[in-house]
Copies of this chain bind each other. A is one copy, B any other.
Amino acid sequence: MRKRSRSDPEERRSHILDEAIRIVGRHGYHGFTIQQLAQVCGMTNGGLLYHFPSKENLLVAILEERDRRDAAIVPQDVDLSARDCGSDSGYALSTVRSLLRAIVARTVAEPELARLHAVLQSEAMAPSHPAHGYFERREAMVLEEFAAMLTGHCRDPRSAARQTLAMIDGLVQQWLRANGAFDLIAQWDAAAAAILPASSAHD
């Protein structure tokens, strides 16, 4: 007679990832230990390693999980309607605004995910870090996407993309450090008004 309510194999794995995101998001890859995580999950050292054969392997799984959850939130209401209006090659400014706002809002909705991202991104600056490549690719991708979005709305989309990303990242990090003590979205809205091009006449 089992009384484990969490005997579902897949759910177990998911539970571990949940806790892992929380802990790694707080202490980083080098700062957390398998034992610590196992304890929080109510299992033994080796029990955890059954699900994720190595620490590095676990990190990869965490990153994948992050992407999965990330993808689940943002695009739903924005991406699909992205190209429905406006110029030939780009997005309408209002769409861009919505998208960026959604990105920022996601931080507030899922602070653990945001913390994980912030902490690992800095830690992974060192080329020897197991997540270095991941964040390298990811940043390039995001910059490209942002630039694409902004194309047609400003003279130097590449540069605008950098500034946009910088502002988002910077604000998010402050917000995380402050434990959510200020209104991140309002702050972003104010910043967006300055950074993003004013609405064009026909918008």
A166 interface contact, C-beta 8 A: yes
> Are the C-beta atoms of A122 and B173 separated by less than 8 Å?
yes
- Chain B residues whose C-beta falls within 8 Å of the C-beta of A122 in the assembled complex: 28, 118-119, 121-123, 173
- Chain B residues whose C-beta falls within 8 Å of the C-beta of A176 in the assembled complex: 125
How would residues 143 to 159 of chain A score, 1 for a CB under 8 Å from any chain B CB and 0 otherwise? 00000000000001001
- Total copies of the chain: 4
| Other-chain residue from B27, B126, B129, B191 in contact with A163 (beta carbon distance below 8 A) | B191
A195 interface contact, C-beta 8 A: yes
A28-B28, A119-B123, A194-B195 known; A182 and B170 CB under 8 Å? no
A159-B187, A159-B190, A162-B187 known; A125 and B26 CB under 8 Å? yes
| Other-chain residue from B26, B170, B187, B190 in contact with A126 (beta carbon distance below 8 A) | B26
How would residues 77 to 88 of chain A score, 1 for a CB under 8 Å from any chain B CB and 0 otherwise? 000000000000
| Other-chain residue from B170, B182, B194 in contact with A168 (beta carbon distance below 8 A) | B170
Q: Report the count of interface residues on A (CB-CB < 8 A).
A: 39
Apart from A165-B170, A166-B169, list 20 A-B contacts with CB within 8 A: A26-B126, A28-B122, A30-B31, A115-B125, A118-B125, A119-B123, A121-B173, A123-B123, A139-B174, A156-B190, A162-B187, A163-B194, A165-B174, A166-B166, A166-B174, A167-B170, A169-B169, A169-B170, A191-B195, A194-B194
A-side interface residues toward B, CB under 8 Å? 26-28, 30-31, 115, 118-119, 121-123, 125-126, 128-129, 135-136, 139, 156, 159, 162-163, 165-171, 173-174, 176-177, 182, 187, 190-191, 194-195
